[in-house]
Structure 1
Amino acid sequence: MKKITIADVANQATVSKSTVSQYLNERYDYMGEETKARIKKAIEDLGYQPNIVARSLKQKSTKTIGVIVANILHTFSTEVSRSIEDVCNEEGFHTIVCNADDDPVKEKRYIEMLRAKQVDGLIIFPTGNNRELYQRMLDEKYPVVFLDRSVPDIPVSSIMLENEVASELAIDHFVEKNHRRIGLITTSIIDSITPRLERLKGYQNALKKHGIAENENYISSVAPQEVQTALDQMLGQNQPPDAILAGNDLVLMEILKYVKQKDLRIPEDLAIIGIDDVSFASFYTPTITTVAQPTFKMGKMSAELLLNKIKQNKIRDDRPDYRFKPTLMIRESV
């Protein structure tokens, strides 16, 4: 089957190849509506498919960005990725989303794969354990933006939540509802992941503000699959916590599974607040109080920042970090 070329389109539309090329690159300044309509019809009639690889080589751009999320199961990751895709689509860019599973080896592999595919830039939820690779991209003036996390001494702009404020909002609400034995369960802080450390610090500062002594037995940092075991230990104490702050949506889901299995009542037996406003929080019984992140605004800013770096070729910017305010969504679980 003969491959349809730009010359075939030009002949069919009775225009020059350069006119067809201008049409394909959306340069319509001196092109009449009738000419555009003829070229469009010729492309459709012939079934012409532009050679994307050749065009990318010529333009030195693939009009594609890569997004490497830490864990695609997080509501935050899904909503942010959707927002990034929306912005990129409006600007004529494609998006490739990869899931690193918080694994530095997978993250490194995806960074190298996406760069080999010549994507124009990357938005990364960094594991923090590929510092040399991050620095090399900066040295090569490759466009990168971090999202949700920062990496000390790596001057890449980061889009993040005010995580300490998120914990403080939750603790303030617990105290307002007369809870003083307040626990925190978060995913592992071994790798110094920014939001986990900051949410822990915010929890500790809020307790101090309210004159509540910190109890190390009320704090647990574990993998999601270990949350229920941690709850057994925490709630099995002589004086167990009567309120729990879930550090993210995956922890919240494990807590709710535990509550159901143990036939506990919310909030009578255990008051709960989760950071991340999961979709089911408003219709779970009882409804779950959460601290919401402005996920779509954060995704939008990260995409706009990266596209600006790509278009203006402005890579180093002395690393301004962008922080977004959380919102307490008061419901029935406290």
Structure 2
Amino acid sequence: MKAVTMADVARLANVSKSTVSQYLNKRFDYMGEDTKKRIEETIRELDYRPNIVARSLKQKSTTTIGVIVANILHTFSSQVIRAIEDICHESDFHVIVCNADDNPVKERKYIEMLRAKQVDGMIILPTGDNVDIYNEMFDEKYPIVFVDRTVGEIPIPSVILNNEMAADLGVQHFIDNGYKKIGIITNVIRNITPRRGRVNGYKKALENNKISINEQYIKNLEIGKVQEGLKDLLALEEPPEAIIAGNDLILIEVLKYVKSKNIRIPTDLAVIGIDDVSFSTFYEPALTIVEQPAYEIGKKAAELLLYEIQKKELHGENAIYQFEPKLVVRESSKRIGNSVHTIE
């Protein structure tokens, strides 16, 4: 069947093609109600679908952006995506979401695919290992914003959490509750900035409270090895009394392990997670969390990118927009007794 064109709609509705175009672009300022109704009915009758590709070529814009997340399983990622989609929807922009699985090869393929589809810009939670392609996009003045991570000296605007503060809040809360043997578990993803920042914040909080740093209490593990690492921690001659889980996926692995070993929280082991989880309030006991303002971070990233796209200029080269975390205190971090569960 021959595709229905804008000219067909204009002919049947007895209006000009420019009037149909104005209707499709919602420019109704000088359009009568009868005309609008006639065009609407004609579009419905002919089942007309605008040619998006042709419109994109004419306007030199696809009104589409790409979002590449490092790991879509993180609660943080889904909240950031939601915020980006909300802001883009308000500006009639579409969003294509890609999951890189923290894999630089996948990330590169997605960047190339999105550019081939001529998306107007990208928001990337970068793996950090595609510096050449990041620099290439920057040199071309291609609209791009980083989220959650910075990459070396590349002057691309970044929207991030104050990661040192996130760990500091958790450690300080433990210390204020009488804990001194405090461990931290982060995950292995090369040398990304959130992990470095959280470990640095952990160490600085201990030093500021004149508590010596025990390197045995610091674990940097793949997600699949978190439970084994926690077992090793609790088997130490002087095991930690409290644990900072470096992100939501690590927290879930910690909770799986303590449940399987009948370790009581917080009596045997106090726990604080960085990143919220959906069940934090109704888990028993309720979980103390260091929350990221994930929605606000995603919103800011979308606003920056749309500014670059619509204003055709970079918004604050090398600018870093840093958001502060918030400690939400619940039962999992309270001091109860002095016993620590030891694994045989």
Residue 178 (str. 1) matches residue 198 (str. 2): no
Return the offset for 1:33. Answer: 2.5
Assess if the C-alpha contact under 8 Å between 1:138 and 1:315 holds in 2. no
Distance (whole Å) between structure 1 residues aligned to residue 230 and residue 138 of structure 2? 43
Q: Which residue of 1 aligns with 2:337?
A: none
Q: Which residue of 2 aligns with 1:308?
A: 307
Figure out how many residues of one structure are paired with residues of the other and give that number.
Answer: 333
Q: Which residue of 2 aligns with 1:221?
A: 220
Distance (whole Å) between structure 2 residues aligned to residue 105 and residue 33 of structure 1? 53
Deviation sequence 1:239-277 (CA, Å, 0-9, x none): 000100000000000000000011100000000000001
TM-score by length of 1: 0.98
Q: Which residue of 1 aligns with 2:341?
A: none
List aligned pairs for 1:258-273, cutoff 5 A. Answer: 258-273=257-272
Distance (whole Å) between structure 2 residues aligned to residue 25 and residue 316 of structure 1? 27
Q: Which residue of 2 aligns with 1:142?
A: 142
Tell me the amino acid that sits aligned with residue 218 of structure 1: Y
Return the offset for 1:168. Answer: 0.7
Q: Which residue of 2 aligns with 1:2?
A: 2
Q: Which residue of 2 aligns with 1:68?
A: 68
1:76 is paired with a residue whose SS is helix
Distance (whole Å) between structure 2 residues aligned to residue 324 and residue 138 of structure 1? 24
Deviation sequence 1:196-231 (CA, Å, 0-9, x none): 100000000000011110000000001100101111
Return the offset for 1:29. Answer: 2.9
Distance (whole Å) between structure 2 residues aligned to residue 299 and residue 169 of structure 1? 22
Distance (whole Å) between structure 2 residues aligned to residue 33 and residue 118 of structure 1? 36
Assess if the C-alpha contact under 8 Å between 2:171 and 2:206 holds in 1. yes
Residue 92 (str. 1) matches residue 92 (str. 2): yes
Deviation sequence 1:82-114 (CA, Å, 0-9, x none): 110011011100000000011110000000000
2:82 is paired with a residue whose SS is helix
Return the offset for 1:116. Answer: 0.2
Q: Which residue of 1 aligns with 2:58?
A: 58
1:279 is paired with a residue whose SS is coil
Distance (whole Å) between structure 1 residues aligned to residue 318 and residue 39 of structure 2? 46
Assess if the C-alpha contact under 8 Å between 2:304 and 2:315 holds in 1. no
Residue 322 (str. 1) matches residue 324 (str. 2): no
Tell me the amino acid that sits aligned with residue 143 of structure 2: P
List aligned pairs for 1:106-145, cutoff 5 A. Answer: 106-145=106-145
Could you tell me the percent identity over the aligned residues?
59
Distance (whole Å) between structure 2 residues aligned to residue 86 and residue 45 of structure 1? 32
List aligned pairs for 1:4-83, cutoff 5 A. Answer: 4-83=4-83
Tell me the amino acid that sits aligned with residue 3 of structure 2: K
Residue segments in structure 1 that go unaligned for 5+ positions in a row: none
Distance (whole Å) between structure 2 residues aligned to residue 37 and residue 213 of structure 1? 75
Distance (whole Å) between structure 2 residues aligned to residue 59 and residue 40 of structure 1? 23
1:245 is paired with a residue whose SS is strand
Q: Which residue of 2 aligns with 1:251?
A: 250
2:331 is paired with a residue whose SS is coil
Return the offset for 1:3. Answer: 1.8
Assess if the C-alpha contact under 8 Å between 1:183 and 1:244 holds in 2. yes
2:212 is paired with a residue whose SS is coil
User: Which one is further off, 55-64 or 37-46?
Assistant: 37-46
Assess if the C-alpha contact under 8 Å between 2:307 and 2:315 holds in 1. no
1:15 is paired with a residue whose SS is coil
Assess if the C-alpha contact under 8 Å between 1:62 and 1:118 holds in 2. yes
2:207 is paired with a residue whose SS is helix
Distance (whole Å) between structure 1 residues aligned to residue 275 and residue 182 of structure 2? 18
Return the offset for 1:12. Answer: 2.1
Distance (whole Å) between structure 2 residues aligned to residue 28 and residue 319 of structure 1? 41
Runs of 4 or more off by more than 4 Å in structure 1? none
Assess if the C-alpha contact under 8 Å between 1:155 and 1:316 holds in 2. no
Assess if the C-alpha contact under 8 Å between 2:85 and 2:94 holds in 1. yes
Return the offset for 1:26. Answer: 2.3
Distance (whole Å) between structure 1 residues aligned to residue 55 and residue 149 of structure 2? 35
